[in-house]
Homo-oligomer: A and B are copies of this chain.
Amino acid sequence: MNQSSHKPLLLVLLLFLCLENKGQAQEKSDSIVIHNIYHSMLTEGQGYDWLRILCLNIGHRISGSEQLARADTYMKSIMDSLHFDSVWLQPCKVPHWVRGKEEEGSVISSPFGSFPIDLLTLGNVNGTNGNFIKGQIIMVKSLEELKLMDDSRIKGKIVFINKPFEEAHLNTFQGYSNTVPIRSSGMGLAMQKGAIAILVRSVTTKSDNHPHAGGTRIEDNAYQIPAFAISLQSADKIAEALGKGPCEVKLKSNALYLGLTDGYNVIGEIKGDSLPEEIIVLGGHIDSWDVGQGAHDDGAGCVHSIEAVQVLRRIGYKPKRTLRVVLFVNEENGVAGAIQYMKYATQAPEKHIMAIESDAGGHTPTGFFIDARADKFPPFQSKVNSWNDLLSPYLLKFFPGHSGADIGFLKDMGTCLAGLAPDSQRYFDYHHSENDTFDKVNKRELHIGTAAIASFIYLTDKYGCE
C-alpha cells in the first residue's frame, strides 16, 4: 500500500481517539462537578437548619391546619430568600379532617383485667362522635382470614387485624407495601361484614407504645365504622389476652371529616438557560400526619428538593433546563396537590422531561428507583446506566421501581420518573407517628441525600433522559 491509502484509516483512527478523549474528559469534568456537589453539601449544607425550623417551630401539618399554612409561608420564604426566579402558590381543594380533642380506648374486661390501648383514629374517618362504643374483639391475622370468616362471627363485634409487618424484606418499603392493606382496606371489609369498629396493628417495624397513623379507603358518602391504629405493644397485649379468653373494649373518638378546604402546592423554580421550556421537577410533600413533626415524612423531602437546586447554583452550575421545586400538598390524606399539579402540567405548553421525588426519608441515600411509561423506560434506563461509573463512588445505584405518590401522575405524560431511595431500615420506626421528629434526622445523612438528588439532576439536565 502507498501512503495515501492509509489516509482514510488514519482519519477514522484520529476521530476515534478524539471522541474517546472527549468522552474521558467529559466523564472527568462530570466527576468533578459531582465531587463539588458533595463537598458543598457536606461542608456548607443548609437544609438541616431549614428542617429544624420546620419541625421545631411549626411541627406537624395536616391538610387544612393552621400549621400547614405556616409551613407554606416558611418554605416559600426560603425560596424567596434564595432568589429563585419565580416562587408561587398553586391553589387546590384539599380534604379537611380533624382528629378532635379526645380519643381514647381500653380493654374493659379480659383475662388480664382492664388496660388502656394506645390508639390513633385513622385519617379521614369519622370517630364515635365523642361517645364510647363497646364491643367484643374478634382477632384475625390477615385480610384473607377476615374475608373467609363467616359474617355471623363478625356482626356487632370490633374486628382487630393483627398482621405483623413483613420484616423479611431487606427494603422495608416492600414489607410496608405487603402489610399496609390491613390499614387501607381493612375498615371497608370489616364494615361490609357487619363489624361496629376496627382496630389495626400499626404498620411499623418498631415495637413501642406509639400507634402509627395513616389513611384508609373510603368511598364517597359511604357509611363508615370507626377505625383505629394501635401500637405494637397494645396489639401484642390484646393478642396475648385473647389467647386466654374473650376481651371487651370501649373506644371513643372525636375525629370528623369537615369537607374540602383550601390548600396549596408551594412551587419555586430557576429558569433554564438554553431549554427553559423543558422542566425538571423536584418534589416532596409539605403536609404530614397530625402527630410527630413530619421530619422524615416528608420535611426531609422538602429541604432535599429546595437545596438540590440551590447547591447546583452554589457550585456555579447553570442549568440548561428549568428546575422546578414542587412541594405537594395533601400527599397523606388525598394526593389533591399531586392531582392539581398533573392537571396543570398536562395543559401547560412546557415539556416535563423528568420528575424526581424524595418521600422515603432523610437517611443515607442508596440510589434511585426509576420508572417511566413503557415506551420511555428502555432509553431512560439505558441513559441512567451510563451514569453508573459516576455515581457508584457515592454508593448510588438505580433500581427499576415505584418513584413516588406525587410525581406518579406524570408518568402517562411521558415524563421520566425517579424516587430517591434512602436506606430504609429505620424509616418505618418513625413513619406517621410521634417518633417522626427532628432528632431522628442526621445532618450528614440528610445532606448527602440532597447531594445525590443534585448529582442526578445535573446529569439529567446536561444529558437529558433518553
Contacts and interface: CB of A to CB of B under 8 A. Distances in A.
Contacts of A442: 425-426, 429
A5 interface: no
Contact of A425 (B167, B425, B445): B445
A155 to B, nearest CB: 36
A216 interface: no
B364 A168 contact: no
Interface in A208-250: none
Contacts of A160: none
Interface stretch (A18-26, A36-44, A76-84): A36-44
Contacts of A423: 364, 423
A385 B434 CA distance: 44
A176 interface: no
A366 interface: yes
A444 interface: yes
A216 to B, nearest CB: 26
B43 A167 contact: yes
B42 A168 contact: yes
A349 to B, nearest CB: 41
A394 B169 CA distance: 11
A365 to B, nearest CB: 10
B168 A425 contact: no
- Chain A interface residue count: which class? 20 to 34
A168 B448 CA distance: 11
A423 B365 CA distance: 10
A397 interface: yes
Nearest to A366: B395
Contacts of A148: none
A395 B363 CA distance: 15
A387 B42 CA distance: 32
A170 interface: yes
Contacts of A448: 170, 425
A170 B42 contact: yes
A429 B168 CA distance: 29
Given A364-B364, A423-B423, A425-B364, A444 B42 contact: no
B38 A170 contact: yes
Given A39-B168, A392-B397, A423-B423, 19 more contacts: A38-B170, A42-B167, A42-B170, A43-B167, A43-B168, A167-B444, A170-B394, A170-B395, A172-B444, A364-B364, A364-B423, A364-B425, A366-B395, A425-B442, A425-B445, A425-B448, A426-B442, A426-B445, A429-B442
A-B pairs, top 5 by smallest CB distance, nearest first, are A425-B444, A425-B445, A364-B423, A42-B167, A42-B168
